[in-house]
Amino acid sequence: MVAIGLLARRQRRYSNLGSVAEAEVRAEAQLELSRHLDSGESLKWSGVPKSGVLLRGSDVFLIPFSFLWGGFAVFWEFGVITSDAPFFFMLWGIPFVLVGLYITVGRFFVDARRRARSFYGVTDRRVIILSGLFSRTVNTLPLKSLSDISLKEKPDRSGTIYFGRPHPMASWVAGMQWPGMGQYQSPSFELIQNAKEVHDLVLEAQRAAA
């Protein structure tokens, strides 16, 4: 009984810590978004993507490919360094090794960093998406002009809301996080909690703004 009581208290403690963290994230999102509101505009919802390093569906193919690429690049560079090959061949292999390191390991941390700097909001007038690895990009979509709003939901009720038709290569682009490939992604609330509720809220706000 004592052990069960200790376990229950520990679970409540972790639950409370999680609640505090979520409250801090919501407060940060509201603060960031409030800086971009127009006069008289009200914020109906604010949120952020899931945090941390995540695996995506496209990683079923990307991870084996990254190991093949990275392994070959390292094998090539090692062979050049340990042989009497011209110095040019050593330089030639360095970019391939760097690309291999990025697609094998680095892209996961770039993705996590990008999501950590992303904030989403719905106002009575528009959808706001704040993002950017180093500089802040503000993408606003007037509710009245949104014509294609779709939801991709997971069993845990998290999901992604797309504003516009999702590009066929969207999952590969999200997995690779390669610079300059953002043009192949529709604006979205990516990997948010309670995605269905937010999706319904956006539709309700759109009807009210019509």
pLDDT at 11: 43
User: What count of other Cβ atoms lies within 10 Å of the Cβ of residue 145?
Assistant: 9
Overall pTM > 0.85 = no
C-alpha to C-alpha distance for 123 and 42, rounded to whole angstroms: 5
Helix axes 59-81, 87-101, angle to 10 degrees: 160
Instruction: Give the count of alpha carbons within 13 A of 116, CB side only.
Output: 11
Q: Please write the tens of the pLDDT for every residue from 146-198.
A: 888 999 999 999 999 999 877 666 665 666 666 655 556 788 999 999 999 99
Q: Which of 197, 194, 35 is nearest to 119 (CA)?
A: 35
pLDDT at 74: 87
The DSSP output letter for 125 is S
Q: Please write the tens of the pLDDT for every residue from 43-52.
A: 999 999 998 8
Judge contact between 174 and 190, C-beta under 8 A.
Answer: yes
Q: Which of 10-14, 111-115, 166-170, 197-201 has the lowest mean pLDDT?
A: 10-14
Q: What percent of the chain has pLDDT over 70?
A: 80
Helix (H, G, I), strand (E, B) or coil at 111: helix
